[in-house]
Chain A
């Protein structure tokens, strides 16, 4: 046993404080910004309702962010059309559910189908006709909102309300196991505890496997710190949500999408192919990767996620209107970029994007709560984005 341990000692990754700081910079900044706004708002930012708002308001960013991440991985490509597409989908769903009185299931399936059709067309244009992505999606950006608005013209208010479609609203903006605010919601807390235990278990199982096989591992302290941090964040969020009335259904959707894409990007061959195409497309092609198919899939996937995101958004506003989805493409791109996704492709993670999206969400909510003028809010957001990119470029330069 002693000998075994000695062998393993050499495989332990020594923590390097500087690189660790760099790697987790956005996470640290997120925590600091949160504390800052908590102080500025005299604790309002730390109230359960703030946690619930953060999730409800930013759900679409997480979902679209996953899609945008996949596009950006292939070489810094973006989708400008997703915001306008949300508007169009909203209008169409209004027609289907409210005007034509289709069933919820049929309508949702139709929305997904529309997403798939648009995604196939867009993907084919970009991958096979080789239209530059920003131009191909600029067309949708310009056209879809116009189309959506004209469809909404059936209503005199240019808006279709979903208040008579309770099923739809419950699926995307309801609350699971609802309890009155201020009362501790047990199911929510239990889910939190289970999730926290799972995270810790996964970290230590992976560590045990790597140790057994003699691979490189982090120090025990590092893994313990990771576990404590991960578990603490989950428990804190779920505790606050439990106090605010329960688990918002949209959180289930977000969690499902985020976990799925985290899995795809880190564990699957197809996910790996996205990274290598962005890293060096010629090398990828000459290694047998079907690079065109990857480009196609990136945009097909983006359109499907846009459909899902459209469902959550119109359900939250209980209405489809001409302004739905405005600037969503920019929010998704910002989340990725702030989260360390390379603007030239080939690197970036779902976790990074989630942190980026949360950081922007926290700044938005914080600024709103301290009543900062809306115009200044935009100025701050602009500078945060720029600062994140500059930081990313500089820290990479130091490395090489």
Chain B
């Protein structure tokens, strides 16, 4: 057996209210490609952040043994000194700078006081050749495509003398061809003795490239599968490890289900990226929702679910819209106006509550009334007593835990913030609620309460569209499920026909077909 380069022993990492990692163990041999797989939120990225020192020593429990030594990294520089380099999913390149400048950012060549540009560009070119890029290192990063940018990131990591390279979803924004090239590059590095950890959702790629696959679920390691046999491990085998969990009582039972007529319909809906108008983020999507129905939209990150929802919500995202939106059978036009969408009784509850959902510096009261403030005002003057009463009413209804509705939203826990966000949109009295990842980043108890609220909304005859990247949640809550991948609707299933395996299989097939 080859030498163990990295061993992570009994790693436990707790965030306020959530145990993100619970006794995780990971062993990586020198010179292998080790894959980490698991659903969103399983703890893969957290584990890698522990390894690279983003969560410094002392904020987690357990040991990191690297090259035979226990390591106590206090920041990312410490881990990089030992050759542990992480390439994040979100590219960290400065678009306006040249490839060479980017490559040695924070790692500049030259003396303490002056950058030696000749060495910088000569070395940069050398590393670019290693990743099979023909570009000159003097061109600006923004002029090359995403696939090549990803390769620049790898070259940048090589320039840091990486010995253990961690790639977090390296192919998530690449097309099939670029992905394959990247994977082959990894296999080439392996031959030269580099050790790599790859995090990926794309199981076919994992099966292709990895020597060993460790499955993480709910913050614990489930198993490590050996993939060095003559036949690559089957994707079904990996999925089984990823999703096999107890399903009892995680979801409240639906009561008084009365599914009515079709309320909202979307026909051949196509949306382009606002900055790269040639890219379709939503591609010819058709779907419908009935009154009183909970419709789940499942897809991996980047499948176009958020883009779909936001484009329906008053075209608040995207460009060059085409297709038709019908409400109650009548076509509606909303030209880039959220207030139009609200008038048509659509609500969009964002997945990013801190980024674009709530105003953290304002009170619960102000946040609750925001989307429907005009109903509390006459001649533009707010009836603040009524506003207070409304905020109180929703605090009661949703059981938001807070001493007073004058409390700043920024001081609340994630679950309570999510309730305030829901309260805001419930108070807007929509008929159609587009819920985007309504339980992201909140603890199990709060999740259950959110599920109850969703069921209540459906029982009142509202249409609920629930976007989620947690399969069990989609299966447990929906009446009907749409499956999205790469901007397209790739499937529709009744809840009773859907299983985790056949949904995953559908996504993988559609990915391969492209």
Contacts and interface: CB of A to CB of B under 8 A. Distances in A.
Interface of A: 209-210, 213, 215-216, 267-270, 272, 275-276, 279-280, 282-290, 346-347, 400
Nearest to B410: A400
Interface stretch (B56-64, B170-178, B226-234, B365-373): B365-373
A286 to B, nearest CB: 5
Contacts of A283: 355-359, 370
B366 A276 contact: yes
Contacts of A286: 313, 316, 338, 348, 350, 356-357
B356 A288 contact: no
B381 interface: yes
Interface string B330-370: 00000000110110000010100001111111100010001
A391 to B, nearest CB: 18
B356 to A, nearest CB: 4
B382 interface: yes
Contacts of B316: 285-286
A287 B371 contact: yes
B64 to A, nearest CB: 31
A194 B385 CA distance: 27
A283 B351 CA distance: 12
B360 A280 contact: yes
Interface of B: 313, 316, 338-339, 341-342, 348, 350, 355-362, 366, 370-371, 373-374, 377, 380-382, 384-385, 388-389, 404, 406, 410-411, 424
A275 B362 contact: yes
Nearest to B341: A288
A31 to B, nearest CB: 27
B356 A276 contact: no
Contact of B338 (A270, A287, A346): A287
Nearest to B348: A286
B355 A215 contact: no
A227 B326 CA distance: 57
B339 A216 contact: no
9 tightest Cβ-Cβ pairs between the two chains A and B: A282-B356, A279-B359, A288-B339, A287-B371, A280-B359, A288-B338, A287-B370, A288-B342, A279-B361
Contacts of A282: 355-356
26 contacts: A210-B385, A215-B385, A268-B381, A269-B374, A270-B380, A272-B366, A276-B359, A279-B360, A280-B359, A280-B360, A282-B356, A283-B356, A283-B357, A283-B358, A285-B356, A286-B316, A286-B338, A286-B348, A288-B341, A288-B342, A289-B370, A346-B359, A346-B361, A347-B361, A400-B410, A400-B411
Contacts of A279: 359-362
B359 A268 contact: no
Given A276-B370, A279-B360, A279-B361, A267 B342 contact: no
A280 B417 CA distance: 15
B447 to A, nearest CB: 23
Nearest to B349: A286
Contacts of A270: 380
Contacts of B356: 280, 282-283, 285-286
B157 to A, nearest CB: 32
Contacts of B357: 283, 286
Contacts of B410: 400
Contacts of B382: 267-269, 272
Contacts of B355: 282-283
Given A268-B377, A287-B371, A280 B339 contact: no
A348 to B, nearest CB: 11
Given A268-B380, A269-B377, 18 more contacts: A209-B385, A210-B385, A215-B388, A216-B406, A267-B382, A269-B374, A269-B380, A270-B380, A275-B362, A280-B359, A282-B356, A283-B358, A283-B370, A286-B313, A286-B316, A286-B350, A288-B371, A347-B361
Contacts of A275: 359, 362, 366
B310 to A, nearest CB: 8
Contacts of A290: 339
Nearest to A215: B388
Contacts of A272: 366, 370, 373, 382
A281 to B, nearest CB: 9
Interface centre among A213, A282, A285, A288 (most CB of B within 10 A): A288
A60 B207 CA distance: 72
A288 B350 CA distance: 13
Contacts of A276: 359, 362, 366, 370
A270 B424 CA distance: 18
A283 B410 CA distance: 14
A358 to B, nearest CB: 26
Nearest to B370: A287
A216 B357 CA distance: 27
A32 B355 CA distance: 42
A284 B348 contact: no
A283 to B, nearest CB: 5
Nearest to B406: A216
Nearest to A273: B373
A400 B360 CA distance: 12
A13 to B, nearest CB: 8
A287 to B, nearest CB: 4
A275 B371 CA distance: 14
A168 to B, nearest CB: 33
Contact of A267 (B360, B366, B381): B381
A268 B384 CA distance: 9
Contacts of B366: 272, 275-276
Nearest to A264: B380
A287 B374 CA distance: 12
Interface centre among A270, A279, A283, A285 (most CB of B within 10 A): A283
Nearest to B310: A286
A162 B91 CA distance: 64
B385 A213 contact: yes
B249 to A, nearest CB: 34
A400 B409 CA distance: 12
Nearest to B371: A287
A346 B377 contact: no
A275 B355 CA distance: 16
Contacts of B377: 268-269
Nearest to B340: A288
A113 B66 CA distance: 73
Given A268-B377, A285-B338, A346 B371 contact: no
B466 to A, nearest CB: 18
